[in-house]
Structure 1
């Protein structure tokens, strides 16, 4: 069957922003394809846990404004699962309204989460992925943020 070629059995995926929205949908799809999924987010509500029920997943609380969070996420994923095959950077925030009205601190938070944290997650994942012979990184963006 063609879908057998897309199985992710024995793969480990880390999904930032994996507790809601697009990140949660991606985490669920990866889990349904057989991957063990580490979902990272500020919190994980019961409805998100129910969405992933029956799949191999772990939750890791993470605040992507913390510049050390990406290194901790990757280290904890490796400690729990022994490898990292897939990184999905889905954490992000959006600010709406006239850009001339954005307070500087809100703009900075947006850039830290949407740009800096993505870079730091990729950088943290590269060494273990290279050691194991490869991996995949997916960076998710949105017209909304």
Structure 2
């Protein structure tokens, strides 16, 4: 159940983030939307409020290390508490080790992993004070297995999986649950960056051939599992890495 819960979603203005924000609101949550696209953020907030839930858009670049404290402070001032954090913000840069610059490596680690750590650190105190809370990290099926041509991204998501496990153990006594979802290729704008090819249809067909269920995931399919992990229905789950990958990691 998510009725009345206050949920922060990072990377909320696109793809899985926006789909998750809408899913949370549909299930009765009020949502703090964090992102860089002001136009899309305002539109999404208006859509959520039109559905009868409350929404707050906070423009922020999570490469700014001061952003998490500002986001949490604004969220607490507006809503009074924080029940759920969805660490979804991420970037993808393709390349093998010999093709990856130090700047590219540092950027991926800082956004994909560092921002999740800093956002989690910022919400721990208010969640601990309430003796309850849920953090859901959006990792990847590439956190569970190797892949070609995206070494920095894969390593960042594997590290996020370990961050999930460690935070779950460290904060279970605080009433805070920490889990991660590990989605496969999903039909989002990031998919266009992940693979080169002759157009979107070609990419979708190529990717579908690698997934046992024969297609890429839809955003709503990923969002529903995130919402479950955030909800009280997952009350006995912490430290879990949940593949939502059409059977890919079972191969």
When the two structures are superposed, what TM-score results if normalisation uses the length of structure 1? 0.87
Measured in 1, the distance between the counterparts of 2:100 and 2:125 equals: 37
Task: Give the CA deviation at 1:51.
Answer: 8.3
Contact 1:84/1:129 (8 A) holds in 2: yes
* Aligned CA distance change for structure 1 residues 141 and 45 (closer, same or farther; 3 Å): farther
Q: Does 1:26 align with 2:20?
A: yes
CA contact (8 A) 2:42 2:57 kept: no
Superposed, which structure 2 residues align to 1:126-145 within 5 Å? 126-142=124-140, 143=142, 145=153
Which consecutive unaligned segments of at least 5 residues does structure 2 have?
143-149, 154-251
After superposition, the Cα gap between the structure-2 partners of 1:132 and 1:50, relative to the gap in structure 1 and judged at 3 Å, is closer
Q: CA deviation at 1:112?
A: 0.5
| Alignment: residue pair count | 139
Deviations 1:35-88 (A, max 9, x none): 110010111434982586124211101111111111111111001110100000
Any conservation in 1 of the 2:33–2:41 contact (CA below 8 Å)? no
The whole-number CA distance in structure 2 between the counterparts of 1:42 and 1:50 is: 13
Does the aligned pair in 2 maintain the 1:15–1:38 contact within 8 Å? yes
Secondary structure of 1:65's match?
coil
**Structure 1 segments unaligned to the other structure (5+ residues):** 1-5
Larger radius of gyration: 2
1:11 aligned to 2:9?
no
Match in the other structure for 1:3: none
Structure in which a larger fraction of residues adopt helix: 2
Decide which moves more: 47-56 or 88-97: 47-56
1:61 lines up with 2:78 in the alignment: no
Q: Taking structure 1 as reference, are residues 46 and 137 closer, same or farther at Cα in structure 2, changes over 3 Å only?
A: closer
- Give me the CA root mean square deviation: 1.9
The answer on whether the counterparts of 1:89 and 1:138 sit within 8 Å (CA) in structure 2 is yes
Q: What is the distance in 1 between the residues matched to 2:115 and 2:139?
A: 13
1:132 positional shift: 1.4
Conserved? CA contact 1:38–1:77, under 8 Å: yes
Structure-2-length-normalised TM-score = 0.52
